[in-house]
Structure 1
Amino acid sequence: MNQKTAIKGRGAQRNVHNRFFELSHEMRDDFLEFCRKEGEISDKNKTLYLEVFPKTIINKVESPDIGMMYSMNSYQGCEHGCIYCYARNSHEYWGYSAGLDFERRIMVKKDAPKLLEAKLKKKSWKTHPIVMSGNTDCYQPAEQQFKITRQCLEVFLKYRHPVGIITKNALILRDLDILKALAKDNLISVSISITSLSESTRRILEPRTTTIKKRLETVKVLSDNGIPVNVMIAPIIPSINSHEILPLAKMISEHGASSIAHTIVRLNGAIGEIFKDWIYKTMPDRAEKVLHQIESCHGGNLNDSRYGTRMRGEGKIAEQINNLVKLARLKYFKNKAIPKLNLDLHEQYKVGQLKLF
C-alpha cells in the first residue's frame, strides 16, 4: 500500500461527492501544504457516533433476489470499512458521503429495542424471520459501547420470534447465552462473512473487521453450540480472492458451517469511484486487471442492477466462479443444510409470555 497517500485503518481513501448535493467538498493540496508547514493535522480520522431517532426499525425488503423479507439495522454507516460494501450508497440519504463518511459518521438508533418490541406486539404483525444487518453490521465496533444488538436479541427471545444475523465480527460470541436460548426453539440462524484466508487481503479489503482466524473460531463455537451457521463467501472479486474459493470452503466446512453462499462483486452507485481510487492506491500493479475482470462479469460495466444477474454475473469469469462454488458445495457441504426457522411460537408469546388460553 502507498503509505504516503493511504489513510490508516480505513477502506475508502477519500470522500466522494454526494449525488443529492449541489456543492462538493475537496481536500486541496494548498490546504494540506499549509497544515504541514503549521504542524497541524488536516484530518484527525476519528469516528463519530451520532444518535438518530427513527419512527420505525423494521424494513420490508422489496428486492426479489435477496433471501429475506424483513430486515432491521440498529446502526447506519459501518466502521468495518469494507471497500466493496453496497450499503455505502445509503449514507448519501443521510447527507453524508459514501466514502470516508460511511466509516466515520455512524448513526446510532438507541430506541431500536423499543421499536422492535412495539412491532412484534402488534396484532397485525404476521411472523416472518427478521434479519439483523440487512444493511450494516449489527456487531460493528459501536456495538461494544451501545449494546443495542444484545437488547434486540433479548426482545426476540422474550417474544419467541425468529431472527437471522449477518456479521463478520467475533463480538457475536458475547451474546452466546441468548443465541443458545433462541436455538433451543430453532429461532436463530447466523451468517458469518469470510472473504479470504489471507490476513493481508483481509486488512486492505476490510480494515476494521475481526481477523480471519477469529471468524473461523466463531463459526466453530456457534456450530458446536447448536446454532446453525451459513458462511457468506462474499463478495468474490476476480484476481483478489477468486482463487481461494475451494480452500476457503474446505476450511469453513471443517469448522462446522452448514452451508455457504456467495456473490460476485458489483460496484453500484458511488462505490465504483471509491473502489477505483482504493485499488490504484493499494494494488497499483493489478488495478487494471481487476477492474477489467469485474467489468467482464457485468457486460462491460462495473455494476449490473438487473435482479437475478447482478450478484451472479455473466461471462466466462463469472461462470468459472459460479461453477467453483457449485463444486465446493458438492465436495464439502453434501448432506448439510440450514434448517428453516420456527414460525409457530411467536403468536403464543405475543404479549411477552406464553398464552395459556
Structure 2
Amino acid sequence: MARLDRYMLSQFLLLFGFFALVLVALFWINRAVLLFDRLIGDGQSALVFLEFTALGLPKLILTVLPIATFAGAAYVTNRMSSESELTVLQSTGSGPWRLARPVFVYGLCVAGMMSVLSHFLVPMAQGQLSQRETEISQNVTARLLTEGTFLHPGENVTFYTRLIDTDGVLRDVFLSDRRNPDEGVIYTAAEAYLVRNGEGTTLIMVDGLAQRLNRDTKRLATAKFRDFSFDISALVSKSAGRRISVPNRTTPAFLTSWDQLSEDSGDSLGTIAEEFHSRFAQPLFCVVAAMVGFSTLLLGGFSRFGVWREVVIAFGLLIAIDGFRGALVDEVLTDPSNWPLMYMPVLVGTILVVAMLSVASRPSLLRRRRRGAAA
C-alpha cells in the first residue's frame, strides 16, 4: 500500500473511531436511562442492569456503524479539501479513481467489522438477552418485592404490599386471584413471607382474611386464617421448550433446510430470507456509505468556505438509499424469492458512486458547469 493510501486510511479510521464512540455513547445513554428505570423499578440489582447493557451494545454498535462510516469519510474529505490537500494531490496526477482507492479499503475494513457483528456477535448477544429477559420475567420473587405499587405478576393476578422490612417481611399484603372464571378470591394479610421451595416459590400469609366470590350465585364467602400458604410458582409460564427466533441464531444455522428452520423457530420463510440476506447487505452498505460521502464531496472542488453544501447532499442521498432499502423489506417478507431486492440499495449506491467519480474525472465538464452556474 502506498504512503498516500496509508495516510488517508489512517485518517478515515481515526475519525471513524471518534464518530462511532460518540454515537454509541449518545444512543447508549438514551437507552440506559429507560433500561435502568425498568429494571431497578422491578427490583433487579445493578449487576443485572450492567449485564443487560452489555448484551445490548453489539446491536447498538451495528446500528451506528454506517452513520459513523459516512461521517468519517465526509469529515476527512472536507478537511482535505479545505486545506487544499486534495487540490495538491490532483495536481500531481492523482485522479478521482486513484483517490477513491483508500476510501474503498476503508469501507471494506468497516464492512469486515460489521460482518463479524451481524453474523455472530449480535445474534449471540440477542439470544442471551432474550433468555435473560425470560428468566427475569419468571422471577416472581423479584417482581413481588416492590412496595407501595399494585403489581401484576401474572394474568388476572394483582399483588400489593404496603411495606417491606429490612428482614424481608411483607407488611399489609393484598392478593387478588381472578384466574378462575367462575370465582375470584382476594387474600389480605397483616404480614407475609416469600419462601423458596426448590424451583418453586410459596407466599406464606399470616393473620389474614380470604374472600371468595362465586360469580354464578353472586355469593361471597369469607374465612379468617392464622397462616395460609399460596403457591405462586404457577403465576408465570415455564421457559421449557422456548423457541429460538431467527434473529437470535448465528449465520451458520441458516445453512440447513429453511423449512426445518422455520418449523423450529416459528418464523416465516420470508423472515428467514430477509434476516439472512440483510446480514450480507448491511456490511456492503458501509462501503457504499463511505464512497458516497467521498465522491459527493469530491464534486464540490476547492472552496474557502468548505463543501458543507455537498455534505448535506451526500447525507440526503444516503438517507434516500437507506429509505429505499426499508421499502423493499416488505417485499421480501411477503415473498422469499424476492431476496435479490435486499441488495438493490447497494447496487443503486454503487451506480451513483461510479457516475459521480466519472464526472469528477472530467474537470473540463465541471468547469463548464460552474461557469454556467456563475453566469
TM-score under structure 2 length normalisation: 0.25
Normalising by structure 1, what TM-score? Answer: 0.26
Structure possessing the higher radius of gyration over alpha carbons: 2
